[in-house]
Structure 1
């Protein structure tokens, strides 16, 4: 590690002011940033910890929408979303291990947009809205590639709003050492559409599998996915954990399992 300053604002306004200084970087749960600092892949002169902002820690239902504060931990989402949105609660309950779930936050995950993060697949599948200190961004516009988002310098994810589906499920094929998904698929069924978000697979980051969405909108069953051609393997990540062709195959497998498990 190296020397840096740290501020702990207690309001979003204070955090925005602190982030306005040169080389300042926000710190959520630190599950990605701290290892990055240890490896000196990032060397900000100031960290602005968001964990003391109480107004960003909540899970609440507003009609047909579940609103989750950006500072809410995965463990809290797993417990408090279970009644209203079991598919999302199940996703949160399987992120990392207990230590990660008790520190990592949904806002940090969404802001970082790791290509194997779990929440982005749910946000895309559900058509979520990412709320920041200055605006609201549709999920389809927010995620812009591997580690890339629509966030501007100093902008903070204060809330994520999920339209609550009739049925949903998240299925992931874990890379055992990291517990990140080699491929993760979130399936969400609404009255007028179906969303399928895929994480961990593509060189372009999280994406929607539109062919599966169209097929499932007409017939929400595993059989509707069985006849589909897997996404192009050349667009998939290929590494020591699995080839692009393997990941493309897993997308179909995880989607079918998600449809079968959706409730």
Structure 2
């Protein structure tokens, strides 16, 4: 299909981009375009103007900032998954990013664009939520930071306000003792996750000292499996871990669609959480 008519601008700076975005509430940001362009073609989105931020240097790159890694919003998935800094300090991000769609999309799609799209079936929102990342947004009024727990509001809706642009994401370095894994169940290599689980596990003296678990496609936003996280704390690896992971679907509201019904997604959440936790904890 052919998109509806819209104006197009390519500002030369981040400040100018914020001004353009604030000029009309129907204006949309164009980053990699891998999420927005299909919506335009299907006429599911009717922006009056697109603000192309693809060439803004302020939004590019992956940077080591001491206690965290800063991933620029315009860093492509391919750049993130091959970054030495990400592999060294945020391996869960590198692993999950390598599972996003296919190579063509990973070369064009952007890290920030995928997160700002706020699709609960996307791989990265649950990962950043589990790692307790912080989103950095800029507007004509200045810059603010948004914790991941407050960023995802509803289906395809984030807490970015009118005139705000996502600049990048701070990913904390969790340090020694942590293990990570992302487990994804999907129909084909290019498909959205039917269910995905991002697990970060810290072991101490043979027991699980702390666990963080993010769930993909188990509700209108990415979710933390809080019941399982609490149950795993202080637990030794064994049969009890499976019992704790059986709580992963508690307080979730998975969707029903052509690919899976809610009860099947709850089953997958329990199974995949168990796999992800065992792998992240280093269990064979």
Task: Give the structure-1-normalised TM-score.
Answer: 0.92
| CA apart distance, 1:38 | 0.3
Task: Give the structure-2-normalised TM-score.
Answer: 0.86
Q: Which residue of 2 aligns with 1:30?
A: 33
| CA apart distance, 1:168 | 1.3
Contact residue 135 and residue 168 of structure 2 kept, 8 A: yes
Q: Which residue of 2 aligns with 1:82?
A: 87
Residues in 2 aligned to 1:182 and 1:220: alpha-carbon distance in whole angstroms: 30
Q: Which residue of 2 aligns with 1:238?
A: 256
CA RMSD in angstroms comes to 2.0
Q: Which residue of 2 aligns with 1:217?
A: 233
Shift in CA distance, 135/220, structure 1 to aligned 2, threshold 3 Å: farther
More strand, by proportion: 2
Residues in 2 aligned to 1:151 and 1:222: alpha-carbon distance in whole angstroms: 42
Question: What are the residue-to-residue correspondences of 1:49-60 with 2, within 5 Å?
Answer: 49-60=52-63
Task: Please say which of residues 167-176 and 211-220 is displaced more in the overlay.
Answer: 211-220
Contact residue 200 and residue 211 of structure 2 kept, 8 A: yes
Residue deviations 1:112-141, cap 9 Å, x none?
101201111011111110111120011111
Structure index of larger Rg: 2
| CA apart distance, 1:178 | 4.9
Q: Which residue of 2 aligns with 1:174?
A: 186
Task: Please say which of residues 220-229 and 168-177 is displaced more in the overlay.
Answer: 220-229
1:82 alignment partner, SS class: helix
1:215 alignment partner, SS class: helix
Shift in CA distance, 232/219, structure 1 to aligned 2, threshold 3 Å: closer
| CA apart distance, 1:21 | 2.1
Residues in 2 aligned to 1:98 and 1:177: alpha-carbon distance in whole angstroms: 11
Residues in 2 aligned to 1:43 and 1:93: alpha-carbon distance in whole angstroms: 31
Shift in CA distance, 253/55, structure 1 to aligned 2, threshold 3 Å: same
1:254 alignment partner, SS class: helix
Unaligned runs of 5+ in 1: none
Q: Which residue of 2 aligns with 1:196?
A: 213
| CA apart distance, 1:62 | 2.1
| CA apart distance, 1:177 | 7.4
Unaligned runs of 5+ in 2: 204-208
1:226 partnered with 2:242: yes
Q: Which of 151, 155, 178 is equivalent to 1:142?
A: 151
Contact residue 135 and residue 166 of structure 2 kept, 8 A: yes
Equivalenced residue count is: 262
